[in-house]
Amino acid sequence: MSRRRLTREDSRDRTTRRLLNAARKLIARKGLSDTTLDDIAEEAGYTRGAFYSNFGSKADLFIELLRRDHEATNAQLRALRSESVPLEHIQRCIRKIHGQLYGTDESFMNWAEARMLAARDAKFRARLDALLVERRAEVAELIRYVYGRLGVAPPVAATALAMGFNSLLEGVKLNMLCSPGRTTPEDAESVLRLFVDSLVQVARVQALESREKTGELSERKAASQSHNGARSASDQL
């Protein structure tokens, strides 16, 4: 059976993927500044010319690497906003998705490297911030959706809760890398589970209190109408 000949677009996509995979490994291991274009091209099995045929600069490649990670996670978050998905399943999936986001040291190291570069480079900061704002917005929208399913609003701004969860996730992962013997994956999972489950539990409590309050108001209204009706009947007599 003959192998299908790659089109120019297919060939370009394959080259791009290989360059990105090579960069993911090298940047995580050496850092962006110590990873050269030649390093990336050689690791991917290409020449410097192949690099420039796909990317304008090392920063362009780095942003594309982050963007692809970013879009894959956002797609999973959006898929959870469905009435057919039980809330308990959403809770489990949020923990799973964010665990996968930094599931490998390479992935986390690349995002950590990006944040450090953004702190020093204003141009790169603007490009990275666009991704971070989108990520925070997706998480915030999911939080609003979960609370909305229960008929209540988040106790604080959803964007603030999203920022808190993302920061917690990154802090836990950083602690695991810096002190691998003191923070286990089980510890990390327990902390993330507590945060996610607490958000949902707060929503459930708010919903229950809201229903109880609505029930009390309905009872008072019914009692008032009954009283007024009885008084009207008495007045007619």
pLDDT band (50, 70, 90) for residue 206: confident
Across the range 65-82, mean pLDDT stands at: 89
Q: Which domains are assigned to the chain? A: 7-56 (1.10.10.60), 66-225 (1.10.357)
Give the separation between CA 31 and CA 83, rounded to whole angstroms. Answer: 43
What's the distance, CA 5 to chain centroid? 38
> With 50 as the cut, is the pLDDT of residue 1 above it?
no
Cα–Cα distances in Å, from 61 out to 20, 23, 136, 145, 179?
A: 7, 8, 23, 34, 30
Q: What is the DSSP letter of 37?
A: H
Give the CB-side neighbour count of residue 135, counting CA atoms within 13 A.
22
Closest CA to 107 of 159, 174, 162: 174
> Mind listing the pLDDT tens digit for each residue in 103-141?
678 888 999 999 999 999 999 999 999 999 999 999 999
R_g (Cα) of the chain, nearest Å:
26
Q: What is the pLDDT of residue 210?
A: 81
- State the DSSP string of 99-132: HHHT-SHHHHHHHHHHHHHHHH-HHHHHHHHHHH
Give the separation between CA 221 and CA 216, rounded to whole angstroms. Answer: 9
Higher per-residue pLDDT: 74 or 62: 62
Quick check: 38 and 119 in contact, CB under 8 A? no
Give the separation between CA 211 and CA 198, rounded to whole angstroms. Answer: 20
* C-beta neighbour count of 172 within 10 angstroms: 19
Q: Enter the pTM of the model.
A: 0.78
> Mind listing the pLDDT tens digit for each residue in 10-53?
888 999 999 999 999 999 999 999 999 999 999 999 999 999 99
* C-beta neighbour count of 158 within 10 angstroms: 21
Q: What is the pLDDT of residue 112?
A: 93
Q: Please give the mean pLDDT across all residues of the chain.
A: 86
Q: What is the DSSP letter of 6?
A: P
